[in-house]
Amino acid sequence: MFDFLDSGQYDLLGAFWVTVRLTVYSAIGSLIWGTLLAGMRVGPIPLMRAFGTGYVNVVRNTPLTIVVVGCSLGLHQTLQITFGGGDSADIGFRMAVLGLVAYTGTFVCEALRSGINTVPMGQAEAARALGLGFFQVLTLIILPQAFRSVVAPLANVLIALTKNTTVASAIGVAEASLLMKEMIENEANALFAIFAVVAFGFMVLTLPTGLLLGWVAKRVAVKR
Amino acid sequence: MTSVLYDAPGPKAKRRNIVYSVVFLLAFALVAWWVLSAMADKDQLAAEKWSPFVSDSRVWTTFLLPGLWETVKAAAFAVVIALPLGAVLGIGRLSDHAWVRVPAGAVVEFFRAIPVLLLMVFANQAFALFTDIESEIRPMYAVITGLVLYNASVIAEIVRAGILSLPNGQTDAAKAIGMRKGQTMTHVLLPQAVTAMLPALVSQLVVIVKDTALGGMVLGYGELAYQARTITANYGANIIATLTVIALIYILLNSALTRLASWLEQRVRQGKKGSGTVVAIEEIDTGVGSKV
């Protein structure tokens, strides 16, 4: 029943490795981008606030599929923007990461913003009383505490990101779900086995992440 | 609330803010100019790439509106089927009997842990092998099946959170007047939980609408996102214009749903009737990233 695994025709581990790489790069990128967006949204400069709010509302309501396909068909194939060339697999991978970062960053931003709201007002007031400017208040006082309280929501964003990497198959990135589609079409009699194996692979990626980060969240949460 | 992070700007800070604004505007303009000039280079700003969307009503009547209809249809079917399934699973997870609770929990956790695309691809192939659904409408069945399986488990969690959000006194009072467990659930807890979870359910609709796009791009279901292909095939290589218009339609639809959800949440919070508890939209969307 599982003999499709031994045929050597399908690189299942390789496909999941692409999924993992997509997840890791996008996670780092969207953490940075989301933090920047959150900083803009709570900052004193109206123009940046407006940009942050507008960006989040627009991108969050766009399907990820459209964002990723737009990066691939629009930026790459039409405008020939490739961010450093390479073969089409490299470019496709990069476009998928770009789309995932642009999309997931908005959810990181919203999670962080709700984390900022959990920090008691007295913290920022004390910091301002000491004469710290906005940037210092944010980076030295507020964000370190906010991050500790949003580990659990960010873990959920990370899990969702892991699952969302499958959208990259829409632009032909050779990750796990694309391989599954290919295998299913070639080995129709092993349909259930193939689905079980790929689903198991995703559970191996998502469930431990949730458990581990849930434990971390409890450890680092600020006791108030 | 957030203005607590900085002092009211004095004359110096005002000047500095203007400098920052100008720098930000310049950076933004630079990126915009780079993209626009790249578009101009490849002829993407030419009027004939964009004009069909304003001047040619056939773009709307043959492609966009039917696509939007398919999107709404799939989302509506998915939510109508997923709601009762999710309610059963959610209540099952709260059961006193382990033989109900454990399987319900396992089903919910399984379908939340795997990507919805996997479910759609699997359903598509399963329908092809085991049923005689015609190949033109098979993607629709596959998309709806995938969405139902995934969202039933998400709705199960919303229902569970909704019931758990009610004060203990409700169950205690029901017990005190001699109601059985089933009666307590159907007569006391569920009616109140429904109002508490309504906002979260509406915002889950946004996720469903967004996920239908996946079915179009990967399985070829003829919904809104899929129309990008047919439009560019018929109106010249105007993929950027087409995707922009399609994205705008999604944004309008989803913004309306989001606004409805937060309006409902506010109403439920302030309402005099009911328990006044509400399943916060934010709280639920952190449930294994259902909203992302």
Give Cβ neighbours of residue A104 (< 8 Å, ≥ 6 apart).
Answer: A26, A27, A30, A34, A157, A160, A161, A164, B292
Tell whether B174 and B265 lie within a shared domain: yes
Angstrom CA distances, B134 to B130, B137, B139, B269, stand at: 12, 6, 10, 47
The predicted model gives A25-29 an average pLDDT of 97
Instruction: Tokens for B135, please give them.
Output: 């190949």
Buried b (16+ CB within 10 A) or exposed e, B208-226: bbbbbbbbbbbbebbbbbb
Tell whether B31 and B120 lie within a shared domain: no
Cα(B212)–Cα(B140) distance, integer angstroms: 10
Cα(B34)–Cα(B108) distance, integer angstroms: 47
Tell whether B106 and B144 lie within a shared domain: yes
Spell out the long-range contacts of B182-189 with Cβ–Cβ below 8 A and sequence spacing 24 or more: B185/B91, B189/B163
Tokens 């003829």 -> residue: B222
The predicted model gives A2-31 an average pLDDT of 90
Q: Which of B204, B203, B181, B198 is nearest to B277 (CA)?
A: B198
**Residue B220 belongs to a domain with what CATH number?**
1.10.3720.10
Tell whether B107 and B140 lie within a shared domain: yes
User: What does pTM read for this prediction?
Assistant: 0.91
Domain assignment present for B98: yes
Domain assignment present for B89: yes
Query: Between these two residues, A109 and A6, which has the higher pLDDT value?
Result: A109
DSSP category for residue B3: G
DSSP labels for A172-189?
A: T---HHHHHHHHHHH-GG
pLDDT exceeds 70 at position A129: yes
Do the Cβ atoms of B255 and A57 come within 8 Å?
yes
Average pLDDT, chain A: 92
ipTM score assigned to the predicted complex: 0.92
What pLDDT was estimated at residue A139?
95
Chain B CB contacts of A124 below 8 Å: 4-5
Tell whether B24 and B74 lie within a shared domain: no
Domain assignment present for B51: no
Cα(B115)–Cα(B249) distance, integer angstroms: 25
Over chain B (292 residues), what is each successive 10-residue block's mean pLDDT? 77 93 96 92 86 86 92 95 95 94 95 94 93 90 96 94 92 94 92 88 92 92 90 86 94 94 87 65 44 52
Give Cβ neighbours of residue B54 (< 8 Å, ≥ 6 apart).
Answer: none
B229 part of contact set with chain A, CB < 8 Å:
no
- Give the type of residue at A84: G
Cα(B203)–Cα(A218) distance, integer angstroms: 28
Cα angle B225-B230-B235, degrees, rounded to a multiple of 5? 120
Chain B CB contacts of A180 below 8 Å: 118, 121-122
Burial (Cβ within 10 Å: 0-12, 13-18, ≥19) of residue B206: buried
Domain assignment present for B224: yes
What pLDDT was estimated at residue B119?
95
Chain B CB contacts of A142 below 8 Å: 5
B278 part of contact set with chain A, CB < 8 Å:
no
Q: Which of A59, A117, A141, A17 is nearest to B255 (CA)?
A: A59
Tell whether B261 and B210 lie within a shared domain: yes
Q: Which of A143, A142, A191, A129 is nearest to A34 (CA)?
A: A143
Q: Give how far A58 is from chain B: nearest CA, Å.
A: 6
| Mutation target among B34, B71, B121, B290 for the A interface, most CBs of A within 10 A | B121
pLDDT tens digit sequence for A188-203: 888 999 999 999 999 9
Hey, is B43 helix, strand or coil? Answer: coil
What pLDDT was estimated at residue B290?
41
pLDDT tens digit sequence for A63-94: 999 999 999 998 888 888 888 878 888 999 99
Contact present, B157 and B108 (Cβ < 8 Å): yes
Domains of chain A: 3-220 (1.10.3720.10)
Tell whether B7 and B85 lie within a shared domain: no
Q: Give how far A159 is from chain B: nearest CA, Å.
A: 7
Where do the H-state alpha helices sit in A43-136?
46-60, 64-69, 88-118, 121-129, 134-136
What pLDDT was estimated at residue B21?
95
Do the Cβ atoms of B122 and A195 come within 8 Å?
yes
| Domain interval for residue B28 | 2-39
Tell whether B207 and B94 lie within a shared domain: yes
B73 part of contact set with chain A, CB < 8 Å:
no
The predicted model gives A153-173 an average pLDDT of 94
Tell whether B126 and B250 lie within a shared domain: yes
What pLDDT was estimated at residue B283?
47
Spell out the long-range contacts of B44-51 with Cβ–Cβ below 8 A and sequence spacing 24 or more: B44/A78, B44/A79, B44/B238, B44/B240, B44/B241, B48/B236, B49/B235, B49/B236, B49/B237, B49/B238, B49/B240, B49/B241, B50/B238, B50/B241
Cα(A38)–Cα(A114) distance, integer angstroms: 10
pLDDT exceeds 90 at position A49: yes
pLDDT exceeds 60 at position A182: yes
What pLDDT was estimated at residue A88?
84
Contact present, A18 and A93 (Cβ < 8 Å): yes
Instruction: Tokens for B96, please give them.
Output: 């006193």
Work out how many domains chain B is built from and give that number. 2
DSSP category for residue A150: T
Domain assignment present for B238: yes
Domain assignment present for B47: no
What pLDDT was estimated at residue B275?
58
Contact present, B268 and B252 (Cβ < 8 Å): no
Chain B CB contacts of A214 below 8 Å: none
Instruction: Tokens for B115, please give them.
Output: 């990507």
Burial (Cβ within 10 Å: 0-12, 13-18, ≥19) of residue B146: buried
What pLDDT was estimated at residue A81?
84
Q: Give how far A170 is from chain B: nearest CA, Å.
A: 6
Torsion of CA B90, A192, B118, A152, to 10 degrees: 50
Domain assignment present for B262: yes
Instruction: Tokens for B67, please give them.
Output: 């696509």
Tell whether B94 and B8 lie within a shared domain: no
What pLDDT was estimated at residue A31?
97
Tell whether B242 and B109 lie within a shared domain: yes
Tell whether B28 and B83 lie within a shared domain: no
